Amino acid sequence: MAVAGAVAANVLLGAEPAAQADPASSESVAIAAQLGLTAQTGPVEPDMRQLEQLAATRSTRSAAATAAQQTQAAADQAEADRRRQAEEEAAARAAAEAAAARAAEQAAAAAAAQAAEQAAAASSSAATVDADADADESSSGAQESTRTAAAQAPSASVSTGSVAVIRNTSGAVEPQVQAAADVVVSNVPGADGITLGGTRPSATDPGGHPSGLALDYMVMSDAQLGDAIAAYHIAHWDELGVEYVIWEQRMLSSPNGSWKPMEDRGGVTANHFDHVHVNYR
In total, the chain counts a number of residues equal to: 281
Please report the pLDDT score of residue 73 as a whole number.
87
| CB burial string 167-183: b at 16+ within 10 A, e below | eeeeeebbeebbbbbbb
Which tens digits make up the pLDDT trace of 157-197? 566 778 999 999 999 999 999 999 999 999 999 999 999 99
Domain ranges of the chain: 69-156, 160-280
Which tens digits make up the pLDDT trace of 99-114? 788 888 888 877 877 8
Confidence of residue 29 (pLDDT cuts 50, 70, 90): low
Order of strands, edge to edge, in the sheet holding 250-252?
Answer: 166-167, 195-197, 214-218, 276-280, 242-246, 250-252, 260-261
Q: How far apart (Å, rounded) are the C-alpha atoms in residues 31 and 44?
A: 13
Q: Amino acid letter at 219? A: V
Strand partners, 39: none
DSSP one-letter code for 153: G
Helix (H, G, I), strand (E, B) or coil at 201: coil
Q: How far apart (Å, rounded) are the C-alpha atoms in residues 166 and 158?
A: 19
Which tens digits make up the pLDDT trace of 224-280? 999 999 999 999 999 999 999 999 999 999 999 999 999 999 999 999 999 999 999
Which tens digits make up the pLDDT trace of 37-58? 555 555 556 678 888 888 888 8
Q: Amino acid letter at 183? A: V
The Cβ of residue 132 has, within 10 Å, a number of other Cβ atoms equal to: 10
Q: How far apart (Å, rounded) are the C-alpha atoms in residues 180 and 240?
A: 5
Does 123 or 150 have the greater pLDDT score? 123
